[in-house]
């Protein structure tokens, strides 16, 4: 049943991958590897990125000046908040797990249901969300314009437009475009550094390919570039012991099409060792649990504990470096 990805197309049948791994080739083959080297975004303006970084930490972007983007997307900790649902202004609980803000450049769209098509467009989402920052542009502009240093920074970064909703969104978006964690062991291995992966990590990568995880988690971000149903091979939501919520409907909320019920953007696995708990509903506390759930509901099989350990080791090899990301382990 495996549907596999190669060279931009989805192929039925996994003979190519299986042949590769049976031959036991330890070297990366740039032509057929489904995981690709994470590349930085070219051509960013450092002044705009620095302004975006300031805005990302600016609590004036919330109604009562208590919540910044960084409140829920903790950059040192992997870009999410490690909570089942986020906590916004006045201690309000959100409705869905916060994803990381690292490595977003190759994503097909943003949010679990893909309702924002660009990072610029996304910004108004949390800003206006009543449970998150609960404000709006006129309020934010009024506060920021009073700050001479901030207004000046905008005039420097955007000589023509100055401070507007568009330039605020653009600065935040460009800052996020700069959040790419480069040079992970996996990337070094893909570039030909044979010793960059341990034996266990390499075993984990082969299992990840052979089980068919790569049908959905692939490309530079090991995810983020397509949508898929949660529960392809099993009734995930039926088996979950919690009532259905609106957020569980996924892309159905965006398109209204029955076939998009419970369809989500496939999450990137680049930061996954830092961003527990897992899934849009935070139903898995550990990576072991998340891997087992994926095997069961996306691939229709129960996989042995040692394979789960190896796949988890492979996930560690996906974690790259960025100055704002605190090194772990």
Rule CB under 6 A: is residue 322 a binding residue for ligand HEC?
no
Q: Which of 35, 51, 75, 96 binds ligand HEC (CB under 6 A)?
A: 96
Minimum CB distance to ligand HEC smaller for 58 or for 192: 58
Cis bond before residue 277 (omega within 30° of 0): yes
Rule CB under 6 A: is residue 278 a binding residue for ligand HEC?
yes
| Least gap, CB of 170 to ligand HEC (angstroms) | 12
Taking the C-alpha atoms of residue 319 and residue 245, their distance in angstroms, rounded to an integer, is: 32
Rule CB under 6 A: is residue 170 a binding residue for ligand HEC?
no
Rule CB under 6 A: is residue 179 a binding residue for ligand HEC?
no
- Note the residue count of the chain: 329
Q: Which of 98, 157, 179, 221 binds ligand HEC (CB under 6 A)?
A: 98
Q: Which of 280, 310, 319, 325 binds ligand HEC (CB under 6 A)?
A: 280
| Least gap, CB of 169 to ligand HEC (angstroms) | 9
Taking the C-alpha atoms of residue 87 and residue 95, their distance in angstroms, rounded to an integer, is: 10
Nearest Cα to Cα of residue 38 among 173, 190, 175: 190
Q: Would you say 272 and 287 are in contact if contact means Cβ atoms under 8 Å apart?
A: yes
As given in the structure block, the two tokens for residue 219 are: 């490309």
As given in the structure block, the two tokens for residue 104 are: 């977003």
| Choices 27-35, 108-116, 139-147, 156-164 (CB under 6 A): range interacting with ligand HEC | 108-116
Q: CA angle, 144 as apex, 79 and 92 as ends, to 5°? A: 50
Contacts with 250 (C-beta within 8 Å, 6 or more apart), sequence order: 112, 113, 230, 260, 261, 262, 263, 264, 280
Taking the C-alpha atoms of residue 326 and residue 329, their distance in angstroms, rounded to an integer, is: 10
| Least gap, CB of 97 to ligand HEC (angstroms) | 6
Rule CB under 6 A: is residue 313 a binding residue for ligand HEC?
no
Rule CB under 6 A: is residue 318 a binding residue for ligand HEC?
no
| Least gap, CB of 30 to ligand HEC (angstroms) | 23
Catalytic residue among 33, 53, 132, 201: 132
As given in the structure block, the two tokens for residue 229 are: 């149903």
Please confirm, yes or no, whether 132 is among the known catalytic residues: yes
Q: Which of 127, 171, 222, 273 binds ligand HEC (CB under 6 A)?
A: 127
Minimum CB distance to ligand HEC smaller for 51 or for 269: 269
Taking the C-alpha atoms of residue 62 and residue 131, their distance in angstroms, rounded to an integer, is: 10
Q: Would you say 101 and 107 are in contact if contact means Cβ atoms under 8 Å apart?
A: no
Q: Give the total of residues touching ligand HEC (CB under 6 A).
A: 51
Q: Which of 61, 179, 313, 319 binds ligand HEC (CB under 6 A)?
A: 61
Taking the C-alpha atoms of residue 164 and residue 247, their distance in angstroms, rounded to an integer, is: 31
Would you call 131 exposed, middle or buried from its count of C-beta atoms within 10 A (0-12, 13-18, 19+)? middle
Give the per-residue contact string, 1-40, with ligand HEC (x = CB under 6 A; - = no): ----------------------------------------
As given in the structure block, the two tokens for residue 171 are: 């600065």
Q: Which of 18, 32, 232, 324 binds ligand HEC (CB under 6 A)?
A: 232
Taking the C-alpha atoms of residue 271 and residue 35, their distance in angstroms, rounded to an integer, is: 14
**Interface ranges with ligand HEC (CB under 6 A):** 61, 67, 69, 71-73, 86, 88, 94, 96, 98-99, 101, 104, 107, 110-112, 122-123, 126-127, 132-133, 172, 176, 211-213, 215-217, 228, 230, 232, 264, 266-267, 269, 272, 275, 278-280, 290-291, 294-295, 298-299, 311
Q: Which residues are catalytic?
A: 132
């Amino acid at each position: 049943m495996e549907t596999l990805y190669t060279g931009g197309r989805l192929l039925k049948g996994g003979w190519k991958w299986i042949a590769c791994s049976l031959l036991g080739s330890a070297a990366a083959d740039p032509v057929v590897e489904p995981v690709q080297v994470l590349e930085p975004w070219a051509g960013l303006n450092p002044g705009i990125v620095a302004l975006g970084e300031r805005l990302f930490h600016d609590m004036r972007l919330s109604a009562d000046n208590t919540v910044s983007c960084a409140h829920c997307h903790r950059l040192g900790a992997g870009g999410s908040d490690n909570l089942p649902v986020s906590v916004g202004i006045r201690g309000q609980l959100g409705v869905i797990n916060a994803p990381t803000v690292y490595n977003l450049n190759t994503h097909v769209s943003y949010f679990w249901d893909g309702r924002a098509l660009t990072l610029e467009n996304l910004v108004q989402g949390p800003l206006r969300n009543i449970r998150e920052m609960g404000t709006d542009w006129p309020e934010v502009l009024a506060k920021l314009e009073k700050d001479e240093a901030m207004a000046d920074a905008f005039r420097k970064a955007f000589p023509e437009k100055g401070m507007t909703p568009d330039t605020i969104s653009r600065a935040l978006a460009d800052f996020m475009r700069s959040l790419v964690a480069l040079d992970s062991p996996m990337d070094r291995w893909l570039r030909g550094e044979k010793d960059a992966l341990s034996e266990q990590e390499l075993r984990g990568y082969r299992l990840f390919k052979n089980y068919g995880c790569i049908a959905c988690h692939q490309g530079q971000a090991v995810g983020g570039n397509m949508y898929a149903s949660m529960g392809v091979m099993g009734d995930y939501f039926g088996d979950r012991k919690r009532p259905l919520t609106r957020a569980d409907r996924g892309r159905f909320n965006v398109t209204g099409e029955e076939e998009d019920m419970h369809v989500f953007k496939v999450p990137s696995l680049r930061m996954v060792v830092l961003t527990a708990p897992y899934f849009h509903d935070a139903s898995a506390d550990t990576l072991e649990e998340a891997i087992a759930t994926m095997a069961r509901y996306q691939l229709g099989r129960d996989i042995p504990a040692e394979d789960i350990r190896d796949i988890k080791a492979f996930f560690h090899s996906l974690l790259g470096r960025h100055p704002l990301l605190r090194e772990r382990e």
